[in-house]
Structure 1
Amino acid sequence: MEVAGRIGDTFAARVRALEETTLSQHAVRSYETRGRDRPEEPCRVRTPFQRDRDRLVHSKPFRRLKGKTQVFIDPQGDHYRTRMTHTLETTAISRVVARALRLNEDLVEAIGLGHDTGHTPFGHAGEDALDEVLRERFGSRFRHNEQSFRIAKQLNLTYEVCDGILTHTGDLEPETLEGRIVRIVDRIAYVNHDIDDALRYGLLTEADLPADEIALLGATGSDRIDTLVHDLVETSEADGGIAQGAEVGEAMLSLRSFMFERVYLGPQVGPEHERARRVVRAIFDRLVEEPERLPPGDGGLATRITDYLAGMTDRFALAYAERL
């Protein structure tokens, strides 16, 4: 306790001094956060962003990511990505970029770990289904980044982490460079690992991949990520913001469009998307009719149903629907 006390007495001062000598002038300083909605006593051996990271890792929404689809619904096999592995890949790549640019790695890590905590079961098919039924029944909408933001607020995370989580997708741009890293890296991660999974699943072959883009970015997922990360770091350093080079950025967007056409919205996944839609609608309709099935929660009926349904894993949702 005595040693811990001595460390606690000097920890914040040491972090402040270290960041002044090692971080870019554009980086968010750990002790210059805009704070939390509900004031808390600071931790004596963790920065506010480290505390946010730990709070996310120990949360139920984060743990449930291991049972949520990335692309393929409840696939048979241990090597397909889940929402959890996507989150870990995004976070790891984001930290590499942040370190190279001398930005705040702890802030990037917290945003990365929290960015998809609000995602539905069944990936974007589940997100679309929940959005559709909310519009029909309540005139509201569902966006997974907004649900992730709601979870971040419930966890009382710092302003900068909440902002990065909310703006990792959608029309709003992150206020921090750290948030902008996660926004771009999220796409880098999912496009490349989803190509690997589609090849493994037999939905694509190597010959199907766009030749020019693959020649530029690399033949394997790791090669493409290396190319994209180096380009992102070098372009951002020269630009003063967070940006991809024109040629590499265009190739990345082209690959993303290819994946939407052939995989995310392709004809082969139609039955899976319809399956997800049926399950989400069946659960939603039953909860509207029998709200006593819902656990206690905050907000009106639409919010409580959204919180409950969005928090389900794929297998729990499938089993729940079978019992209806």
Structure 2
Amino acid sequence: MSREEVLAAEETRLASWATWSSRSRGRRITEPIDPLRTDFQRDRDRIIHSTAFRRLNGKTQVVVSDTGDHYRTRLTHSLEVSQIARGIARSLRLNEDLTEALALAHDLGHTPFGHSGGDVLDELMRPDGGFEHNRQSLRVVDRLEIKYPDFEGLNLTYEVRESIIKHARPFHGPDYDPYRPDEGPCLEAQVVDQADGIAYMSADLDDGLRASIIRLDELESEVEMWRFARDAALARYPNVGGRLLELKVTAQLISILVSDLVDHTRKRLEADTTTDLERVRAATEPFATFSPEITRMEYGLRGFLHDRFYTHYKVCRMRNRARVMIKGLFQAYSKSPELMPPRFRTLGESDGLPRAVADYVSGMTDRYAQKEYALLFQPGAGSLDP
């Protein structure tokens, strides 16, 4: 299909509350129109072909990736979010291409070693504006990616860039000023935010069980959501047990959450026949939400993961060693900028040395950060195994 044919198809397929490609607010720098792809399709392709996207394969989700071959990385997580979000978007008649672009871009600014890396960078950057991975994702696509001779970054559309930065209200501060802080995010961005939660909860359960950090008996006794999904899985597969049952329960969990989100969101959208994108943006609360019952069970699952997985001593050991590495690297480069590649030294002259150091460190993969730390501090050091 040509670009014009895709746009024409959107006219009949997309709902009034969707973000139509033909109504995009455009790019910062105007470019020639692609004859085959819409602007959101081009954004998705640019994200996939970016170096920051490829580096996600070497960045930890929760369990450090060098402790096993099957644990999630930021890349596999982003792909899972994209798959879940596109299915939701299709059911709600949203723009799937925009949804996919947002899902693939949402973690580009994450540091190595999971959230612990971002937490220590934020502490170190407090005097200089702090560090937050959504803001860093926007900085990656706007400033740090080098792909084109005519402009910095990827020159993505307003809608993609806005959705990256508008993660949680309130939208106050200079970072939000170019993105109409009085407006809420589009529905595609809301869907990606919910798909992110669905993906990481189900994946963290799977990774925690695989790593023997989460105990099945604790799940059975403490988590209503798990029992609900287990009963649904056993109703369909009554003779399944062991590890295969765990996998089917996790899959059923995703199905339950997605179905509830679609049904509840659709009811809210269709309750008013005048609902359109403008009304979605004007709302003070998101439209894409779970039903009260599922929200309650989801809250219980999140609490369990916090108590039994994210604060488990094995995970805490990984985080502690990661914090030591990130802090050591940041301080070493800040004291001796000549240890960084020339590009980041130049960036330090224009954007300030602390921000350039944060850019360099946050862009590292787990393996590269370990290698750099070993070269600077511990020749011959091993991995982050607890």
Distance in 1 (alpha carbons) for counterparts of 2:169 and 2:330: 25
Q: Which residue of 2 aligns with 1:148?
A: 137
Match of 2:366 among 314, 319, 323: 314
Query: 1:213 deviation in Å?
Result: 2.0
- Asked if the contact 1:164/1:174 (under 8 Å) is kept, the reply is no
Query: 1:27 deviation in Å?
Result: 0.7
Match of 1:180 among 187, 190, 195: 190
- Cα gap change, 1:300/1:321 in structure 2, threshold over 3 Å: closer, same or farther? same
Q: Which residue of 1 aligns with 2:320?
A: 274
Q: Which residue of 1 aligns with 2:146?
A: none
Percentage of matched positions with identical amino acids: 42
- Asked if the contact 1:118/1:151 (under 8 Å) is kept, the reply is yes
Q: Write out aligned runs for 1:145-224 (5 A).
A: 145-153=134-142, 154-168=153-167, 171-172=170-171, 175-209=185-219, 210-218=222-230, 220-224=249-253
Query: 1:273 deviation in Å?
Result: 1.3
Q: Which residue of 2 aligns with 1:258?
A: 304
1:4-56 per-residue CA deviation (whole Å, 9 max, x = no partner) reads xxx7xxx3332232111111011111121111112211211100000000000
Match of 1:44 among 35, 54, 62: 35
Q: Which residue of 1 aligns with 2:339?
A: 293
TM-score (structure 2 length as normaliser): 0.78
Query: 1:282 deviation in Å?
Result: 0.7
Q: Aligned pair count?
A: 313
Q: Aligned AA for 2:40?
A: F
- Asked if the contact 1:174/1:180 (under 8 Å) is kept, the reply is no
Q: What's the Cα RMSD here?
A: 1.6
Q: Counterpart of 2:7 in 1: which secondary structure? A: helix
Q: Aligned AA for 1:200?
A: R
- Asked if the contact 1:74/1:315 (under 8 Å) is kept, the reply is no
Distance in 2 (alpha carbons) for counterparts of 1:221 and 1:169: 27
1:135-157 per-residue CA deviation (whole Å, 9 max, x = no partner) reads 2xx34211111101112222211
Query: 1:270 deviation in Å?
Result: 2.0
Runs (4 or more) in structure 1 with deviation over 6 Å come to none
Deviates more, 1:290-299 or 1:52-61: 290-299
Distance in 1 (alpha carbons) for counterparts of 2:169 and 2:108: 16
Deviates more, 1:85-94 or 1:242-251: 242-251
Distance in 2 (alpha carbons) for counterparts of 1:86 and 1:95: 14
Distance in 1 (alpha carbons) for counterparts of 2:223 and 2:338: 55
- Asked if the contact 1:217/1:248 (under 8 Å) is kept, the reply is no
Q: Which residue of 1 aligns with 2:289?
A: 243
Query: 1:169 deviation in Å?
Result: 5.1
Distance in 1 (alpha carbons) for counterparts of 2:80 and 2:168: 17
- Cα gap change, 1:104/1:250 in structure 2, threshold over 3 Å: closer, same or farther? same
Distance in 1 (alpha carbons) for counterparts of 2:56 and 2:184: 23
Query: 1:170 deviation in Å?
Result: 6.4
Q: Write out aligned runs for 1:71-82 (5 A).
A: 71-82=62-73
Query: 1:204 deviation in Å?
Result: 0.8
Distance in 1 (alpha carbons) for counterparts of 2:320 and 2:49: 33
Distance in 2 (alpha carbons) for counterparts of 1:211 and 1:123: 25
TM-score (structure 1 length as normaliser): 0.92
Q: Aligned AA for 2:255?
A: D
Q: Aligned AA for 1:193?
A: A
What stretches of structure 1 of length at least 5 have no aligned partner?
1-6
Distance in 2 (alpha carbons) for counterparts of 1:42 and 1:260: 47
What stretches of structure 2 of length at least 5 have no aligned partner?
143-152, 172-182, 231-245, 270-286, 377-386
Query: 1:314 deviation in Å?
Result: 0.3
